[in-house]
A and B are shown apart, each in its own frame.
Chain A
C-alpha cells in the first residue's frame, strides 16, 4: 500500500531501523566522550575499523566466532585506552577546533596504518555471515541481522540508561558531563570518570564493529568512515550537549539514510549524501541547539 507506493518494502524498513540502531550506538559512543572531555572524537570510526580488522584476522586464521569477538573487544578497548592516554588527555584544555583536527589526524593516521599493514584490497570477515539469512515473520522476509542489531542496540541503550542512572560511576559521568569543573570540586575523580567514559565508548565501538562486519563483510581501511561522518552529523543534529538527543540524532540519520537509500530510484539515490547533509545544514540553521533538545536545555549561545 503506502509502503509499496514509496517503493519500499518491509526489508527496507527493517534495515533502516537496524542501521538507525547501530548509528544510535555510535552516537552514544561519541556523545559520552564528548560529555566528559568536550572532545569530538572523529577517530571513533577507526576504532570500529580496528575491531573489524580483528574479526577479519580471526576469521582468516579459522578461529571460532567467540574468540574473534573477544579479540575484537580486546583490540578496540586497548586502542581506546591508548588514545585516551596519548591524545585525549593532553588535549583536554585546548580549543575545540584543535581537538577536532587532532582527532582527524589520528583518524588519518590509523587509517594509513591499516592501509600499510593490510593493504588497500581489504580482508573478509564472514564468521557471522549466517545472520544475513532471512527469517519469515508473518509472510514478510527480514534478514536476521536487522532484528539482532535492533535488539542488541536496544539492550545496550537500556544497559547504558541503568549504568548512568543507577550506579555511582554513572552519576559521576552525568555530573562531569554537566559541568566538569564543578563536579571535580565536589569530589568526582576526573581521571576515573574519563576512563569509564572512554571504556564504555570503546565497548560500544566493538559491538558496532561486530554488527557492521555482518552487513559489510569486506573490511577496508576506510571501513566505518562514512558511517562516522554521518553519525557525527546526526549527533550535532540531535544536540551535542545531551546524550539522549545525541542518540536520537544518530538514530534519525541512520534511519533516514537507510530508508532513502532503499526507497529512492538509482539516479536519485546517488545524490543521497547531498539530501542528508542539506537537511543537516537546514536543521543547524533553524535550530542550532539541536533538533531533539527542549527549549530550556539548549546550550546558551556564547556571546
Chain B
C-alpha cells in the first residue's frame, strides 16, 4: 500500500522533473515552451483537485488564475512603472510593491478567498447548472477585470512585471502543486469527496456533506489556480484576453485528455498537449524533422490541437490514462522489457 502511494506521488513528480531536465538541455527559445508547459501543469493540477475529485465540471477556474495573476502582477510591478500601465490604480496598490515569493503567496491566498466567495453559493449546484454557473463566473471576472481600472491594468497588458518564472520557479511551482494535490487526495477530505463522486447518495447516507466537501476542494483548487496565475504573470505579459476563452478550454481539455480522475492523468494530459502545441508552434516557424524540412502555415497549430483534442475525447473519453493512477501492474510490461535487455 505504501509503495503504491509512493508511486502515485513520485510518478507525476518524475514527469515534472523530466520536463525540467529537458528544459535545461534545449535552446532558450525552446526553454520558454517547457516553462509554459510546467505552468500549465500547475493550472491543470489545480483543476484536477476540484473537477477530478468531485466529478463536477467547472469552467470558472481560470477566473481564479486571473485574479491570482492580477494580485501578483499589480503588486510586484515596480512602483515607478505603475502609473504608465495602470493610471487609475487605487493608491494603496499604487504605492506598494512586493517581492516575487510574497506575490505568489498572495496570488494563492486571493485565489482561495475568491473561490470561497464563489463556492459558498455555487457548490449547491451540479451537472449542467454548475457548468453554466461557473461559466458565468468566468464571464463576470473577465468583464470586471477588463474594465475596472482601479484594481489593475484594465485592457492594458501586464508588461514590466519582473519575469521571475524561469525554469526553476516553474518546476518548483508545478511540483508544489502536485504535492499539495497528492496530499489532499490522500487526506480524509479527498477520500470523502471522491466517495461523493462515485455515489453521492451512498456518501450522504454515511453522513458526508457533499456541499462541504466540494467547498473544501473548490477553495483548495482555487488557491492552487491563483498560485498558478501568479506563476503565469511572472512568465509573460498577461492581459484579460489571454485569460479568457482559449485558456479555460485548453486546460480543461488537457485534464480530460489526460484522464480527469487521476493526478497522473492531469500531469500527463498537461504535458502531452503542451508538447504537441509547442512542437507545432515551432513547426510554423520552420524546423527539420528527421532531416526533412517542415514548414506549416501559420494557424495550423490551433487546428491540429483542436482536432487532437476532439479525437481523444471521442475515441478515449476516459482520457489517455483512463483516469487511473499509475500502478505497478501497468509498469509490469516494462519489467519484461528490462529482462529481455539482460
Contacts and interface: CB of A to CB of B under 8 A. Distances in A.
Given A112-B303, A240-B128, A273 B139 contact: yes
Name, among A91, A233, A277, A303, the residue most crowded by chain B CB atoms within 10 Å (CB to CB).
Answer: A277
Name, among A106, A109, A225, the residue most crowded by chain B CB atoms within 10 Å (CB to CB).
Answer: A109
Interface in A90-111: 90-91, 94-98, 100-102, 104-106, 108-109
A280 B249 CA distance: 21
Given A109-B306, A288-B125, A273 B133 contact: no
Contact of A116 (B121, B124, B260, B303): B303
B133 A281 contact: yes
B322 interface: no
B136 A285 contact: no
Given A108-B249, A115-B302, A284-B129, A102 B313 contact: yes
B24 interface: no
B310 A233 contact: no
A274 B314 contact: no
B333 interface: no
B131 A100 contact: yes
A87 B314 CA distance: 7
Chain B at the A interface: mostly helix, strand, loop or mixed? Answer: helix
A113 B133 contact: no
Interface residues of B, number: 43
Interface in B250-267: 252-253, 256, 260
Interface string A15-38: 000000000000000000000000
A270 interface: yes
B314 A281 contact: no
A232 B132 contact: yes
Given A98-B317, A115-B299, A303-B200, A273 B124 contact: no
Interface string B190-206: 00000000001100100
A108 B306 contact: yes
B50 to A, nearest CB: 13
Contacts of B127: 96, 302
Given A101-B253, A116-B300, 17 more contacts: A40-B128, A90-B314, A91-B313, A98-B317, A102-B310, A105-B310, A108-B246, A109-B307, A109-B310, A112-B306, A115-B299, A116-B299, A233-B132, A274-B144, A277-B137, A277-B139, A285-B122
11 contacts: A96-B131, A97-B55, A98-B256, A116-B300, A271-B144, A274-B143, A280-B133, A281-B121, A285-B121, A285-B125, A288-B125
